[in-house]
Amino acid sequence: MTALHSPFARKLGAFVALSNVEFDVLERLHSRRRVFPAGRDIMHEGQANQSAYILASGWVCSYKLLPGGTRQIVDFQIPGDFLGLRSVLFRTADHNIEPVTKIEASEVLAAYLINAFSTTPRLAAAVLWAASRDEAMVVEHLVGIGRRDARGRMAHFLLELGARLKLVGLATREGYACPLSQYMLADALGLSAVHVNRVLRELREDGLVTFQQGQVTFDDFDGLVTVAEFDRHYLDHEGPLMK
Amino acid sequence: MTALHSPFARKLGAFVALSNVEFDVLERLHSRRRVFPAGRDIMHEGQANQSAYILASGWVCSYKLLPGGTRQIVDFQIPGDFLGLRSVLFRTADHNIEPVTKIEASEVLAAYLINAFSTTPRLAAAVLWAASRDEAMVVEHLVGIGRRDARGRMAHFLLELGARLKLVGLATREGYACPLSQYMLADALGLSAVHVNRVLRELREDGLVTFQQGQVTFDDFDGLVTVAEFDRHYLDHEGPLMK
DNA sequence: CGTAGCTTTGATGTAGGTCAAGAAATGTGG
DNA sequence: CCACATTTCTTGACCTACATCAAAGCTACG
């Protein structure tokens, strides 16, 4: 059954056990489906009146630029994730969003969303839950950059991404397809691209993970968890938490 | 008029122009007022069924510990800030909260809050607004740790804190009282305490800021803004944005 | 099939960490 | 209000993780 639904429905279903009615409301949220090419930003810092989207396929990243020209990627979004929820609440976007690959996304009209929330409150809970989880991930990212060394950061990042992708059926314990360049990893982890390359080599030579040709392969999952000091708890929802 | 209200009401009032009725509802939110001593955590990672609080006086910090024993402070909360909003939504806290000073905080009952939201929706908007602003600050913090050097981080941090304190009337353009130790600054900025000390000295010797005896003094505000690459925009709400 | 963006590697530099130890401030009990 | 203890601040010497620079081999796609 879950296989019939969109990644978004699938993800929310992992948080809250949804009825068929709720699934239907969910599917009707998606209004206009749009396609964007890789590389061209779909949202700019400071831009007003942005729509929100639900990502159907492809990857995007949210980032901020510093005056010096360097950038920091705050988060990646994968199928099933919301884009620009905060930009709707604030009237203006506070970060940039760039598609990493070609993407398909469904526009979500604010009015529609609010209506869906009032008719099916469990849906509101599920969406807020997802939003809180995103924020928790930003926090974890912050902790990693502040207090982990390069190896730990990379290991943690690759595991976390795996856990998120598993939620929408795009990863297994073996690994997953990953379209990120080493430059993007660098901008996400607060490292230089050169160092990212070296760390990746190290992890590979230690028999922990291989990241080559757009494919992440966990060679020693448990070993990697140890290096990452990964807290299995915070993303491992085995079943719906709300019955 | 604003001077009569609590820091919380004062802060929300800066976002959304509130009516007297709304102010009253706001004041009634605070149920039990409690006092906590400095240093003893009031919320633990993994602990279930936490209450939320509104901080009335004093400072607290939210942090996470890594298995290695190091810690990363994610954010400081000052009077008028919400504590543990996310811990209520998730049933369990995902970080620790430690009072930096002795604090007074009012417990907020979840049921009360939800009720207030449905009767005065503008209040819900204001609270969500504040929550989004907090999240935006965590993002900015992440960017700083990932891509700014120690000087820039410190400068940015001191300015941001000043901007937040100004919202609740606890800072001026001249400076503010700040009870944080250099160890805490270190844990917040992802630096060592020793280096924090050196950076502070540098900034003082360059005539930019002085941080001594619990007092932050801006010696050259504009100069500091330049060093910090501080975006005046993102916290400078001069008046209510929603009329 | 050429050129632009990735990846890989080596050599060298530096910001910030760690260790150590003394000086100030702050707190505590008598 | 003083003596003592404890935390916090400050500074110096040394070291390491990561940045920067540079250049060569890959991929891929228009």
DSSP of A31-62? -SEEEE-TTS-SB-TT-BSPPEEEEEES-EEE
Q: Inter-axis angle of helices B20-29 and B7-15, to 10 degrees? A: 140
Calculate what percentage of chain A has a pLDDT beyond 90.
57
Mean pLDDT is lowest, of A103-107, A172-176, B8-12, B183-187, for: B8-12
Contact between chains at B94 and A234 (C-beta distance less than 8 A)? yes
- Residue B48 sits in the same domain as residue B142: no
Which chain B positions have a beta carbon within 8 Å of A71's beta carbon? Answer: 147
What is the side-by-side strand order in the sheet with A60-65?
Answer: A71-77, A60-65, A96-99
Interval A170-214: pLDDT, tens:
999 999 999 999 999 999 999 999 999 999 999 999 999 999 989
Please tell me which residue, B57 or B113, carries the higher pLDDT value. Answer: B57
Number of domains in chain A: 2
What is the side-by-side strand order in the sheet with B96-99?
Answer: B71-77, B60-65, B96-99
Question: Is B66:B78 a contact under the CB 8 Å cutoff?
Answer: no
Looking at residue B231, what is its pLDDT?
77
Which chain A positions have a beta carbon within 8 Å of B242's beta carbon? Answer: none
Backbone angles phi, psi at B75, to 5 degrees: -165, 155
**How far apart are the C-alpha atoms of A188 and A71, rounded to whole Å?**
9
Find the mean pLDDT for residues A91-101.
Answer: 90
Interval A205-219: pLDDT, tens:
999 999 998 999 999
pTM across the whole model: 0.91
Looking at residue B239, what is its pLDDT?
46
Q: Does residue A81 belong to any structural domain of this protein? A: yes
Last residue of a domain, one of A90, A106, A132: A132
Q: Which single residue is written with the structure tokens 């206009």?
A: A32
- Residue B22 sits in the same domain as residue B122: yes
Residues A204-209: contacts with CB within 8 Å, 24+ apart? A208/A155, A209/A155, A209/A158, A209/A175
Q: Which runs of consecutive H residues, i.e. helices, occur in chain A?
A: 7-15, 20-29, 85-89, 110-119, 121-147, 150-167, 182-189, 193-205, 221-228
- Residues in B whose CB is inside 8 Å of some CB of A read 46, 64, 66-68, 70-72, 74, 86, 89-91, 94-95, 128-129, 132, 135-136, 138-143, 145-148, 189-190, 229, 233-234, 241
- State which residue has its Cα closest to the C1' atom of D9: B197
pLDDT of A238 higher than 50 = no
pLDDT of B172 higher than 80 = yes
- Residue B11 sits in the same domain as residue B113: yes
Last residue of a domain, one of A68, A103, A132: A132
Find the mean pLDDT for residues A84-95.
Answer: 80
Range of the domain at A19: 3-132
Please tell me which residue, B231 or A75, carries the higher pLDDT value. Answer: A75
Looking at residue B220, what is its pLDDT?
96
- Residue A94 sits in the same domain as residue A184: no
- Residue A36 sits in the same domain as residue A118: yes
Mean pLDDT is lowest, of A228-237, B5-14, B45-54, B222-231, for: A228-237
Q: Does residue A241 belong to any structural domain of this protein? A: no
Question: Is A80:A5 a contact under the CB 8 Å cutoff?
Answer: no
Which chain A positions have a beta carbon within 8 Å of B66's beta carbon? Answer: 143, 147-148, 229
pLDDT of B207 higher than 90 = yes
- Residue B192 sits in the same domain as residue B106: no
pLDDT of B100 higher than 90 = yes
Please tell me which residue, B117 or B215, carries the higher pLDDT value. Answer: B215
pLDDT-derived band at B97, boundaries 50, 70, 90: very high
Find the mean pLDDT for residues B150-169.
Answer: 94
Q: Does residue A242 belong to any structural domain of this protein? A: no
Looking at residue A58, what is its pLDDT?
95
pLDDT-derived band at B160, boundaries 50, 70, 90: very high
Last residue of a domain, one of B132, B148, B167: B132
- Residue B137 sits in the same domain as residue B111: no
Residue A110 buriedness (CB in 10 A; 0-12 / 13-18 / 19+):
exposed
**How far apart are the C-alpha atoms of A150 and A186, rounded to whole Å?**
10
Find the mean pLDDT for residues B60-85.
Answer: 93
**CATH for B223:** 1.10.10.10
- Which chain A residue has its CA at the smallest distance from B63's CA? A143
For residue A92, list its beta bridge partners. Answer: A48
**CATH for A49:** 2.60.120.10
Question: Is A23:A5 a contact under the CB 8 Å cutoff?
Answer: yes
At B73, list the tokens: 């402070």
Nucleic strand C interface residues, CB < 7 Å: A 181-183, 193-194, 197-198, 200-201, 212; B 149-151, 190-192, 194-195, 213-214
- Residue B9 sits in the same domain as residue B107: yes
pLDDT-derived band at A9, boundaries 50, 70, 90: confident
**How far apart are the C-alpha atoms of A126 and B102, rounded to whole Å?**
36
Q: Does residue B182 belong to any structural domain of this protein? A: yes
- Residue A186 sits in the same domain as residue A113: no
pLDDT of A239 higher than 50 = no
Which chain A positions have a beta carbon within 8 Å of B46's beta carbon? Answer: 233
Q: Does residue A154 belong to any structural domain of this protein? A: yes
Q: Does residue B240 belong to any structural domain of this protein? A: no
- State which residue has its Cα closest to the C1' atom of D18: A195
Q: Does residue A20 belong to any structural domain of this protein? A: yes
pLDDT of B174 higher than 50 = yes
Among A90, A143, A148, select the one facing B132 at the smallest CB separation: A90
Looking at residue B17, what is its pLDDT?
82
Nucleic strand D interface residues, CB < 7 Å: A 149-151, 190-192, 194-195, 213; B 181-183, 193-194, 197-198, 200-201, 212
- Residue B104 sits in the same domain as residue B168: no
pLDDT-derived band at A37, boundaries 50, 70, 90: very high
Average pLDDT, chain B: 87
Q: Does residue A7 belong to any structural domain of this protein? A: yes
Find the mean pLDDT for residues B108-120.
Answer: 79
pLDDT of B104 higher than 70 = yes
CA of B155 to C1' of D5 (A): 34
| Whole-number CA gyration radius for chain B | 18
- Residue A100 sits in the same domain as residue A169: no
For residue B212, give Cα distances in angstroms to A145, B107, B197, B204, B215.
Answer: 28, 33, 11, 10, 5
pLDDT-derived band at A234, boundaries 50, 70, 90: low
- Residue B97 sits in the same domain as residue B83: yes
Find the mean pLDDT for residues A108-135.
Answer: 80
pLDDT of A109 higher than 60 = yes
Looking at residue A73, what is its pLDDT?
97
Q: Which single residue is written with the structure tokens 């890789």?
A: A38
